[in-house]
Amino acid sequence: MFKGVVVSVLASLLFGAIYYLSPFLAPLDGEQIFGWRVLMTLPFTTLLLLWRKELTAALALLARARREPVFAAQLVLSAALLGVQLWIFMWAPMNGRALPVSLGYFLLPLVMVVAGRLLFAERLSPGQSLAAGVAALGVAHEFWQAGGMSWETWVVALGYTLYFALRRVLRTDTLAGHWIDMGLLLPAALAFSFRAPNSWPLVADHHALWLLLPLLGLVSAVALALYMLASRWLPMGLFGLLSYAEPVLLVLVAWLLGESIEPAQLPTYALIFAAVGLLMLDGAWHWWRGRSHSAY
């Protein structure tokens, strides 16, 4: 489990780097960046697939999809759910919507805790339950002062939960399954890159993009691969709670990009940050207890 925790935190750090990188990809807009992200990520994901010797597993999933039309449709749905998340992640910071998306990542762990409990009968430790309760107070405050959540927030919180639950049910929560998801997104990625205005001439004319886009692909491939591994190695509830590291970083990036938090939102984020702190203390406590017991 410790390995899954480390992998999850590393993935969150890399996602924060991608969020910060996206505005530097101008003059590309959010949809074009989504297309190029998939185009640049797929080759690096393929290399990771070959390096981890999971090509056979990927071919087995594709063979099953050819035999079972329902399973093939489920794979398409899985890819579509991932595609929406990759799109909104790149679109938000380019359109001044980084904070609503960040709030979606704050709400996501709570939704995943509920899904883990209802769908997979998972349980949390007392410390993790306390962290979830404090975070729930923060989310409830946001509902109260804003009168609800923006559509971007709900797309992230519900969409990602459905995606990870579907992968777990289908048993495609592997690098092989992730590679198929990315491959199925290729037609949409090409369409976004060629839609008017055609982004290929823009890329050709801006030499900085020749370096930044492959960098985006490399970081994205590693981050997504680590994230998928963490989702497989950890219970859904704990995986969700560890995802709090990502929205904390995304809020910091939103500040760096010039967005600000309204005074009325401060209690929301204070409670969320407190939940992250409690989760870290709970993890440190369990790590210390594990070392103490191993010493005997």
* Predicted confidence band of residue 38 (pLDDT cuts 50, 70, 90): very high
- Tens of pLDDT, residue by residue over 46-97, are 998 999 899 999 999 999 999 999 999 999 999 999 999 988 877 887 777 7
Give the residue among 220, 210, 191 at the shortest CA–CA distance from 32.
191
Tell whether 296 is covered by a domain: no
For residue 239 the two structure tokens come to: 């995986």
The model's pLDDT over 178-228, given as tens digits with 9 standing for 90+, comes to 999 999 999 999 999 998 788 899 889 888 899 999 998 898 888 888 877
Neighbours of 3 (CB within 10 A): 11
Tell me how far apart the alpha carbons of residues 249 and 244 are, in angstroms, rounded to a whole number. 9
d(CA 183, CA 187): 8
**Residues comprising the chain, all counted:** 296
Answer for the pair 247, 272: CB distance below 8 angstroms, yes or no: yes
Residue 6 has a CB neighbour count (10 Å cut-off) of 13
Averaged pLDDT for residues 221-245:
72
* Residue where the block lists tokens 């697939």: 49
Q: Average model confidence (pLDDT) for the chain?
A: 81
Q: Annotate 90-100 with b (16+ C-beta within 10 A) or e (fewer).
A: bbbbbeebbbb
Number of domains in the chain: 1
The predicted pLDDT at position 96 comes to 76
- How far apart CA 164 and CA 288 sit, in angstroms, is 30
Q: What is the mean pLDDT of residues 160-173?
A: 90
CA 98 to chain CA centroid, Å, is 14
Q: Look at residue 243 and tell me whether its pLDDT is greater than 60.
A: yes
Question: Is the predicted pLDDT of residue 43 greater than 90, yes or no?
Answer: yes
- The reply to whether 294 falls in a domain is no
Q: What does the CA dihedral 35, 37, 179, 239 come to, rounded to 10 degrees?
A: -120
Angle at 66 between CA 61 and CA 68, to 5 degrees: 90
The answer, as to whether pTM is greater than 0.85, is no
Please determine, for residue 154, whether its predicted confidence score (pLDDT) is greater than 90: no
Residue 293 lies in a domain: no
The arithmetic mean of pLDDT across residues 28-45, rounded, is 89
- The burial class, CB within 10 Å (0-12 / 13-18 / 19+), for 240 is buried
Which residues fall within 8 angstroms of residue 225, CB to CB, at 6 or more apart?
Answer: 45, 48, 175, 178
> Which is higher by pLDDT, 14 or 289?
14
What is the separation of C-alpha 35 from the centre of its chain, rounded to a whole number of angstroms?
Answer: 17
Q: Does the pLDDT value for residue 124 go beyond 50?
A: yes
- pLDDT of 292 > 90? The answer is no
Share of the chain above pLDDT 90, in %: 27
Supply the pLDDT for residue 296: 46
C-alpha 14/C-alpha 254 separation (Å) is 15
Give the residue numbers spanning the domain of 29. Answer: 2-288
Query: What CA–CA distance (Å, rounded) separates 198 from 59?
Result: 34
The closest of 282, 158, 165 to 232, measured between CA atoms, is: 165
Between residues 197 and 170, the one the model is more confident about = 170
